[in-house]
């Protein structure tokens, strides 16, 4: 504020002195007389104006330097505290831009996921197909039944609950996924996998529920193009009639 006021007064003093010099010069020329006092006064006003303007300029530069130094110190303090003024940190395990799912000891990226929400009860067995997802399995260490590394995989999450008096039996990993072009995919046998949450084929005791993932290997092209498919598997119920139920569950991404 002081710098601005000084600058304004300095400019006014300079303007007044210039006007006075012009007026006194004209009077001296017209009257053919020269009065030294007039020019001394005008010159003094000019000098005062220059001094005020210089003072204002100096003050303005000092304020600018102080502002820059303060800003630099603030940035330095922020860096020392491990953060920057404009930075923001947001981490979430459910971040869809870099989503991952843990199967056993491996973490693999999810490429696509969908809810299926299929539920059917027959022969005192309740069978559910909950969801499906396509994952990048290149670094997962997963191999197919022929020992080849799996690039991508279709994971289908399902469960079977047995409310019948006798044990039920199901082998969904012996089922198939059928693609729109008629290609039939075979699952990876659960017994050959290290994934602790893979669906375990076999008997389901009375009152028990077995759940897990049925895993089908995919090529890169199949993973990229897959929009819908059908999951086909069989459940042999533990009821009195030993009902045999064949399922054909549509899955859409």
Note the pLDDT of residue 86: 35
Minimal CA–CA distance to 125: which of 17, 242, 237, 201?
A: 237
DSSP the chain: -HHHHHHHHHHHHHHHHHHHHHHHHHHHHHHT---HHHHHHHHHHHHHHHHHHHHHHHHHHHHHHHHHHHHHHHHHHHHHTT--TT------TT-GGG-EEEETTEEEEEEEEEEEEEEEEETTEEEEEEEEEEEE-TTTT-B-TTSPBPSEEEEEEEEEEE-SSS-EEE-GGGSEEE-TTS-EEEPPPGGG---TTB---EEE-TT-EEEEEEEEEE-HHHHHH--EEEEEEEEE--STT--EEEEEEEEE-
Note the pLDDT of residue 81: 42
Q: What distance in Å separates the CA atoms of residue 162 and residue 210, rounded to the nearest whole number?
A: 9
Minimal CA–CA distance to 175: which of 165, 194, 195, 189?
A: 189
CB 156 within 8 A of CB 214: yes
The pLDDT tens digits for 89-135 are 333 233 333 355 544 444 456 689 999 999 999 999 999 999 999 99
Q: What is the pTM of this model?
A: 0.57
Please give the mean pLDDT across all residues of the chain. Answer: 75
The pLDDT tens digits for 9-18 are 656 666 666 6
Find the mean pLDDT for residues 201-219.
94
Note the pLDDT of residue 73: 45
Note the pLDDT of residue 94: 34
Q: What distance in Å separates the CA atoms of residue 242 and residue 233, rounded to the nearest whole number?
A: 16
């Amino acid at each position: 504020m002081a710098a601005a006021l000084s600058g304004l007064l300095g400019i006014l003093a300079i303007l007044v002195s210039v006007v006075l010099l012009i007026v006194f010069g004209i009077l001296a020329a017209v009257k053919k007389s020269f009065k030294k006092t007039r020019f001394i006064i005008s010159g003094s006003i000019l000098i005062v104006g220059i001094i005020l303007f210089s003072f204002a300029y100096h003050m303005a530069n000092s304020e600018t330097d102080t502002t820059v130094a303060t800003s630099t110190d603030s940035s330095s303090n922020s860096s020392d505290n491990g953060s920057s003024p404009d930075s923001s940190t947001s981490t979430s395990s459910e971040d869809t831009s870099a989503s991952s799912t843990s199967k056993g000891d491996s973490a693999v990226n999810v490429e696509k996921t969908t809810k299926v929400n299929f539920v059917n009860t027959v022969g005192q067995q309740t069978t559910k197909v909950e969801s499906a997802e396509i994952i990048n399995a290149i670094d997962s260490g997963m191999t197919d039944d022929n020992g080849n590394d799996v690039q991508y995989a279709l994971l289908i999450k399902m469960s079977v609950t047995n409310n019948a008096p006798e044990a039920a039996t199901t082998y969904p990993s012996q089922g198939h996924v059928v693609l729109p072009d008629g290609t039939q995919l075979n699952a990876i046998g659960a017994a050959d996998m290290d994934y602790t949450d893979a669906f375990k084929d076999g008997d389901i005791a009375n009152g028990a529920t077995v759940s897990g993932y049925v895993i089908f290997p995919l090529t890169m092209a199949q993973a990229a193009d897959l929009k819908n498919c059908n999951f086909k598997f069989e459940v042999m119920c533990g009821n009195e009639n030993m009902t045999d139920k064949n399922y054909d569950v549509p899955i859409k991404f």
